[in-house]
Amino acid sequence: MKSISLFACGGIGDLALRHTGFDVLVANELVAERAEVFKYNYPETHMIVGDIWKLKDSIVSKAKGLAKGLPIDLVFATPPCQGMSKNGRGKLLNSVRKGEKNAIDPRNLLVIPTIEIFLASGAHTLVMENVPEMEYTCIPDPQRNGQLIGIIDYIRREIGKSFSSCVRVVEFADYGVPQSRQRLISIFSKHEKLAAFFQQSNTLIPPKTHSREGGRLPKWRTLRNAIGHTPPLNASIKKLAVDPNIPFHSVPILDDEKYYWVSNTPEEKGAFDNQCVNPSCQYQGNPTHFASKDVEGINRASTETPIRCLKCGELLPRPWVKDGSSYRLMKGYTSAYKRMRWDMPAPTLTRNLSYACSDNKLHPTQNRVLSLHEAMILHTVADYDFFWKRSDGKNVSDKLIRELIGESIPPAGLEKIFQFINSIANGTIEA
């Protein structure tokens, strides 16, 4: 099948397309350095770099030219999620309440050129990936003087009733990915066999291959399954934080204070809940940290969590800020400086995966965050021939690698979805 890839980033999601027999004719990406990684890995695909609003006609015309009279089958689109995600939405609402920003995030409007490209291409199937919140996100309706309309409702109206639509939240751990990553997978198709399958089965999402509990299906792949074998690292000094024999198996050094908090954090716990380490006290009953929603519905961390032991008065190894000669608890999510669990898939890897202060980013037992090598395994990029190189010959920075992983979808899970679609379309699987 011939396809177009929109918001292609560095091409991690496109690994699933390539490995299920899709020929990606044209890809579009806004950020040039990300597009350079894509171009190195997909030299046969024509990459169009720049603003999709301005380039939508060029994307369609180039794809049709490369198709040489044959039909384009599928458009794959992964528009930015920051305006829809829980974190992004929370920040947005805060800014709106302060009068600093409009309530509509312009990134959410990128669905409009996406649908225009899809319809103009003549493709029979559209696959979109985004955060679950997309299902309940609204945009101003261009046809109704800016009245709000749900994104999914907008898509259904624009493409028409000839398309079947399957919109499901998918947990990628259910497909053998050693990472818990929930995404909204939206499939719209007028392909005869796909539409017939959906009519009979009410889904275009493949059966799960794994489950949390196990039993009939294998259990979720855990952090221990995936990276339990990687050599240990320690973020105290550079010599211990780097493995010279494994590319990308290194971690940032933690300063003395952060290392103190992290090194005193037990398994499956967070540093905000650390107890007294004074050898003559070691009181374990200090109240732990928590968060709750205020009257405006905003999640607020407790301001009463003690920073000193209630029994001996010693400073607890909890994330602190020093104000002159006094200390106070650092503001932040209760999941900051928190360890992952060995017996579970990794939490969702974000572009902040190398920061101990981000959500659930500490190694289960070692005093450090994940290495990029481990992140590549957990994101299943390591299962494929993918090169962290740029077509312009420049180095790929650690920052860029984090962005490409954090803003993409695990290709091993996505491959199962595309393989299922392909098998239905070619008649291998029937309802």
Three-class SS of the chain: CEEEEECCCCCCCHHHHHHCCCEEEEEEECCHHHHHHHHHHCCCCEEEECCHHHHHHHHHHHHHHHHCCCCCCEEEECCCCCCCCHHHHHHHHHHHHCCCCCCCCHHHHHHHHHHHHHHHHCCCEEEEEECHHHHHCEEECCCCCCCEEEHHHHHHHHHCCCCEEEEEEEEHHHHCCCECCEEEEEEEECCHHHHHHHHHHCCCCCCCCCECCCCCCCECCCHHHHHCCCCCCCCCCHHHHECCCCCCCECCCCCHHHHHHHHCCCCCCEHHHCCCCCCCCCCCCCCCCCEEECCCCCEEECCCCCCECCCCCCECCCCEEEECCEEEECCCCCCECEECCCCCCECCCCCCCCCCCCECCECCCCCCECCHHHHHHHCCHHHCCCCCCCCCCCCCCHHHHHHHHHCCCCHHHHHHHHHHHHHHHCCCCCC
Neighbours of 278 (CB within 10 A): 15
Beta strands 291-293 and 299-301 are antiparallel
- 358 lies in some domain: yes
208 shares its domain with 255:
no
- 36 lies in some domain: yes
- 320 lies in some domain: yes
- Domain containing residue 323: 231-370
Which residues, other chains included, contact 141 with Cβ-Cβ below 8 Å and sequence gap of 6+?
147, 148, 149, 154
- 225 lies in some domain: no
**CATH code of the domain in which 74 resides:** 3.40.50.150
pLDDT at 383 (0 to 100): 97
Q: Which of 15, 12, 18 is nearest to 2 (CA)?
A: 18
pLDDT at 150 (0 to 100): 87
What's the burial of 134, exposed, middle or buried (CB within 10 Å: 0-12/13-18/19+)? buried
Tokens representing 118 are: 């899809």
357 shares its domain with 251:
yes
130 shares its domain with 173:
yes
240 shares its domain with 286:
yes
- 221 lies in some domain: no
119 shares its domain with 179:
yes
Domain count, the chain: 2
pTM: 0.91
Tokens representing 199 are: 């009519």
195 shares its domain with 343:
no
- Mark residue 115 as left, alpha or beta (left: phi above 0; alpha: psi -120 to 50; beta: remaining): alpha
Is 129:184 a contact under the CB 8 Å cutoff? yes
pLDDT at 143 (0 to 100): 84
pLDDT at 86 (0 to 100): 55
**CATH code of the domain in which 250 resides:** 3.90.120
CA angle, corner 238, sides to 233 and 244, nearest 5? Answer: 65
Tokens representing 299 are: 């999640």
66 shares its domain with 43:
yes
19 shares its domain with 78:
yes
46 shares its domain with 165:
yes
418 shares its domain with 339:
no
pLDDT at 123 (0 to 100): 97
pLDDT at 303 (0 to 100): 77
- 390 lies in some domain: no
pLDDT at 99 (0 to 100): 57
54 shares its domain with 117:
yes
Tokens representing 228 are: 């339990």
Beta strands 74-77 and 125-130 are parallel
Instruction: List per-residue pLDDT tens for the chain, 431 residues long.
Output: 899 999 999 999 999 999 999 999 999 999 999 999 999 999 999 999 999 999 999 999 999 999 999 999 999 999 876 665 554 455 555 554 565 545 677 788 899 999 999 999 999 999 999 988 888 888 888 888 878 888 999 999 999 999 999 999 999 999 999 999 999 999 999 999 999 999 999 999 999 999 999 889 999 999 999 999 999 999 999 999 999 999 999 999 999 999 999 999 999 999 999 999 999 999 999 999 987 776 666 667 777 899 999 999 999 999 999 988 899 999 877 789 999 999 999 999 999 999 999 889 999 999 999 999 999 999 999 999 999 999 999 999 999 999 999 999 999 999 999 999 999 999 998 87
- 394 lies in some domain: no
Residue with tokens 């994940």: 370
- 224 lies in some domain: no
Distance CA 47, CA 156 (A): 28
Tokens representing 82 are: 């920051």
29 shares its domain with 137:
yes
What are the backbone angles phi and psi of residue 70, rounded to the nearest 5°? -85, 155
pLDDT at 95 (0 to 100): 54
pLDDT at 290 (0 to 100): 84
Is 339:359 a contact under the CB 8 Å cutoff? no
